[in-house]
Amino acid sequence: MSAAFRAVKTENVSISAAAKSFGVPRMSLSDRVYHKVPLHKSKMGVKTALTDEEETALCNYITYMANRGFPLSAPQLLGFELCIAKERNKEGVFTKNGPSRKWLRGFKRRHPNLNLRCPDALDRGRACLGNVNTLRDYFELLKETMDANKRNDKPSQIYNCDEAALYLNKSAGQKVLVPTRTKHTHSLSVATNEHISVHCCVNAAGHAIPPMIIFSKSLPGGAYHSNGPINASYACSDSSLMDQTLYSQWFGKTFLSHAVQQRPLLMIQDGAPSHVSVELIRSAIENDVILLCLPPRPLT
């Protein structure tokens, strides 16, 4: 628009020719040439419900909440927009139902640094441990352990294990607003849906130990293990979560059978009570396996 304006004013180009040449609306250019509309301070389209400063503040709040594990969903954003409009006595710009999805689409166009994504569940216990002091203490302990046992150049002898829950009836969650460049979109959640657990283990060289798959209460009927992972073990517990007995069984029958033969081995594992028992410690000592536990998650 500025280039078309200069062409009309300084090069004696007609308004129609300048509009066509620079790809701008002819009437919009005409309004600026005849000073009906300021050249730099005007916007195309209808006036937005919020000012630029108010929308910038809302964008900053979206980023703030996303970085802390509480990203705003689309309905929450629409609710905040309506509250701000009421506070500024602008609620009349919306219908009785408040801002619509059309307003949300316009808001995203005006702020391309935001995006709608499905969040990744982040356990509250894990979030509590995600602080600088806890992580610093853990990595110092890890370095001391690796240096003392000379494991820094032996990745095949360093293992890490943990279990993951696979939800059987989890519906697709609603999308949330986060900055576009956000790599992971975590949202604090509580696991309450029916699920099975898969206990996995892999060493730093990329060799995976066969997993243990844990069902709830009892093993399902039929050939539930057909086409499953090679050499995988199957078990059940009341909650479909790992317990001390199952973990000791996996360690003795699966891990020791498929781990590399060189010793000692370093096993990095969760410090949950189900991963620590007298039987496990005794077996680890007998087989020259060093157990390094992450801090246990706080009870909630």
Give residue-wise pLDDT tens across range 65-77. 777 666 778 888 8
Residue-range definition of the domain harbouring residue 11: 2-33
pLDDT band of 113, cuts 50, 70, 90: confident
- Range 154-190 burial, b when 16+ CB lie within 10 A, else e: beebbbbbbbebeeeeeeeeeebbbbeeeeebbbeee
SS3 assignment, position 274:
helix
278, 146: one domain:
yes
What is the rounded distance in angstroms from the CA atom of residue 62 to the CA atom of residue 288?
50
* Contact (Cβ atoms closer than 8 angstroms) between residue 81 and residue 27: no
What is the rounded distance in angstroms from the CA atom of residue 219 to the CA atom of residue 241?
13
189, 93: one domain:
no
State how far Cα 69 lies from the chain centre. 8
220, 137: one domain:
yes
98, 126: one domain:
no
132, 278: one domain:
yes
Q: pLDDT per residue over 225-234, tens digit each? A: 778 888 999 9
Q: pLDDT per residue over 47-98, tens digit each? A: 677 788 888 888 888 887 777 666 778 888 888 777 777 777 776 677 777 7
* Contact (Cβ atoms closer than 8 angstroms) between residue 291 and residue 183: no
Which structure tokens are listed for 207?
């060799």
pLDDT (average), residues 172-179:
67
Question: How many domains are there within the chain?
Answer: 3
Which structure tokens are listed for 227?
């086409």
What is the rounded distance in angstroms from the CA atom of residue 11 to the CA atom of residue 138?
70
135, 97: one domain:
no
pLDDT (average), residues 123-142:
70
216, 131: one domain:
yes
pTM over cut 0.85? no
SS3 assignment, position 84:
helix
147, 275: one domain:
yes
99, 127: one domain:
no
Q: Calculate the alpha carbon distances from 87 to 53, 56, 73, 101 in Å.
A: 15, 17, 21, 21
57, 137: one domain:
no
| In-domain check, residue 44 | no
pLDDT (average), residues 121-128:
58
